[in-house]
Chains A and B, each alone.
Chain A
Amino acid sequence: MTALRVGIVVFVVIVVQASFVSRFPVLGARGDIVLLVAIAAGLEGNAQRGAVVGFAAGLVFDLLLTSPAGLSALTYCLVAYLVGSFHASVLRSTWWIPLAATVMASALGVMLFALFDQVLGEATVEAGRLPAIVAVVAVLNGLLSRPARWAMRWALADTSRSRDRMFLR
């Protein structure tokens, strides 16, 4: 059931990315809300769940792109794992911590993707354009972080409850 709900969220987000977000470039850069789903999974689930959702969302997204398949999957699973690990280490959560984590993780995700892209010899984006892309992705994902976390909270609901039950036992 959880997998189905995660699948629905990923499907909807990819359609929104392809048909809406990508069509509204700012400063020549396009947002990346598929990365946001991975980050939200790390925040709402845990590092492990985040990595799995990030990998799955990235892999499906990769299949629609012409960049090497597996590149987004690798980037998103690493970012979601880091976010999940960071969030688990926070002792007292306040409203701005997930927001700041989303913004930072989005920036990290773009830079990581650009690095892997360069290592694989693709070099799709010139270095001068990277700051604009980082800024656009980070700001957009920061703005959408709350609805994305609601969506992932709904998608991972069973998991969280069963985990809570496990801790209560």
Chain B
Amino acid sequence: MALSRRTGRSRFTLFLLVLASITVLTLDFRESAPVSGLRSGADSVFSPVRSFADSISEPFANAWGGIAEYDDLTDENERLRRRIDVLEGRQIGDEVARRQNTELKRQLGIRLTTDIPTTAARVVSGPLTSFDATVQIDRGSGDGVKEGMAVVTDAGLAGRVVRVTGGRSQIQLITDPSFTLGIRLAEQGDVGIARGAGREGTLEVADGISGDTGVKRGDAVITSGLEGSAYPPDVPVGKVRSVGRTADRTEKTLVIDPAADLRGLSYVTVLLCDENCS
């Protein structure tokens, strides 16, 4: 009798907890204030302790990375050396074109990405679990970083700031499934919305690219920089990996490989522009 009463009570508790979880999920999907407040409170509590603990674990984590990824690093090193040779050849031509482009934009009064103030940051912590797509950087509100700011590497867009504490910020990578941004095909000029594809480490464009557009594998994709966008225009996003069609075959779908190497992020740059960066 007592046992069945206890079982009934524990089932009722489980029911309440499942209900509470679903309520929190719903509130979070609606971006409700209580959940945001709790997130920011948790960050404030854990951040100082994590900073201290990270400083202890960092040398060991670096050593582990060197051991666990030795073969990959050797292959990557070889590949990068070959790539540097190719890029150095192109650099001279690009430099001339860039100077002419800058000069023309100045004459036309177009705002340059290089005019946006930036702050360099070091990635101090990677994803917390295998299901997480965020990293932490060692710059926070004290350095002028605010939520929503774009984060780039030398190669291109890496993510955006989603949470900020005094000395640290959390960056959502562009491959996160809840990450969306306006993109433009550099050559064709078509504009669409790209979403992180999460599992594949890519981005996807589900619509917005006309069925007649002659987009192909390897085409460059940049930020659209439309008015009101949080991302400045012409920041490299990546290259087209594959092209498909929507179910009604009127538009094209794209899979994009990010330009920034998101697996080996060490240093990033935060663009200190949180509203209308276009």
Given contacts A18-B50, A125-B198, contact A66 B170 (CB under 8 A): yes
Could you say which residues of chain A place their CB within 8 Å of the CB of B9?
48
Q: Which of chain A's residues has its CB closest to B3's CB? A: A88
Q: Which residues of B contact A63 (CB under 8 A)?
A: 38-39, 41-43
Interchain CA distance A55-B13 in the complex, whole Å: 11
**Which residues of A sit under 8 angstroms from B64, Cβ to Cβ?**
23-24
B56 located at the interface, meaning its Cβ lies under 8 Å from any Cβ of chain A in the complex: yes
Interface string of B118-155 (1 = CB under 8 A from A): 00000001111111111000000000000000000000
User: Is A162 in contact with chain B by the CB < 8 A criterion?
Assistant: no
Identify the stretch in B14-22, B181-189, B214-222 within 8 Å (CB) of chain A at 4 or more residues: B14-22
B68 in the interface (beta carbon within 8 A): yes
Which of B23, B125, B130 interacts with A23 by CB under 8 Å?
Answer: B125
A97 interface residue (CB < 8 Å to B): no
B169 within 8 A of A: no
Chain A interface main SS type: helix
Q: When the two chains form their complex, are residues A48 and B130 in contact, meaning their CB atoms are under 8 A apart?
A: no
Q: A52-B13, A120-B25 are in contact. Are A69 and B46 (CB under 8 A)?
A: no
User: Contacting B18 at CB < 8 Å: which of A17, A68, A78?
Assistant: A78
Among B99-107, B172-180, B233-241, the stretch that binds chain A is B172-180
Count the B residues whose beta carbon is within 8 Å of the partner chain — how many?
A: 54
Give Cα A71 to B22, complex, Å: 8
Indicate which residue in B14, B28, B68, B131 contacts A117 across the interface (CB closer than 8 Å): B131
Complex CA distance for A20 and B41, rounded to whole angstroms: 22
Contact of B25 among A18, A74, A113 (CB under 8 A): A74
Chain B, residues 7-45, CB within 8 Å of chain A (1/0): the string is 001100110011011111101110000010011011100
CB distance from A110 to the nearest CB of B (A): 8
* B108 touches A (CB below 8 Å): no
Q: Mark A106-130, 1 if CB is under 8 A from B, else 0.
A: 0000100110010011111111010
Subset of 14 A-B contacts with CB under 8 Å: A15-B53, A16-B53, A23-B57, A30-B127, A47-B14, A64-B43, A65-B134, A66-B134, A67-B131, A70-B20, A110-B130, A122-B198, A124-B177, A137-B130
Q: A23-B60, A73-B17, A110-B130 are in contact. List 12 more A-B contacts (CB 8 A).
A: A14-B46, A25-B68, A30-B127, A32-B130, A46-B10, A68-B28, A70-B25, A74-B21, A84-B10, A124-B198, A124-B199, A125-B199
What residues of chain A have their CB less than 8 Å away from a CB belonging to chain B? 14-20, 22-26, 28-30, 32, 46-48, 51-52, 55, 58-71, 73-74, 77-78, 81, 84-85, 110, 113-114, 117, 120-127, 129, 133, 136-137
Chain B residues with a Cβ under 8 A of chain A:
6, 9-10, 13-14, 17-18, 20-25, 27-29, 35, 38-39, 41-43, 46, 49-50, 53-54, 56-58, 60-61, 64, 68, 125-134, 162, 170, 172, 176-178, 197-200
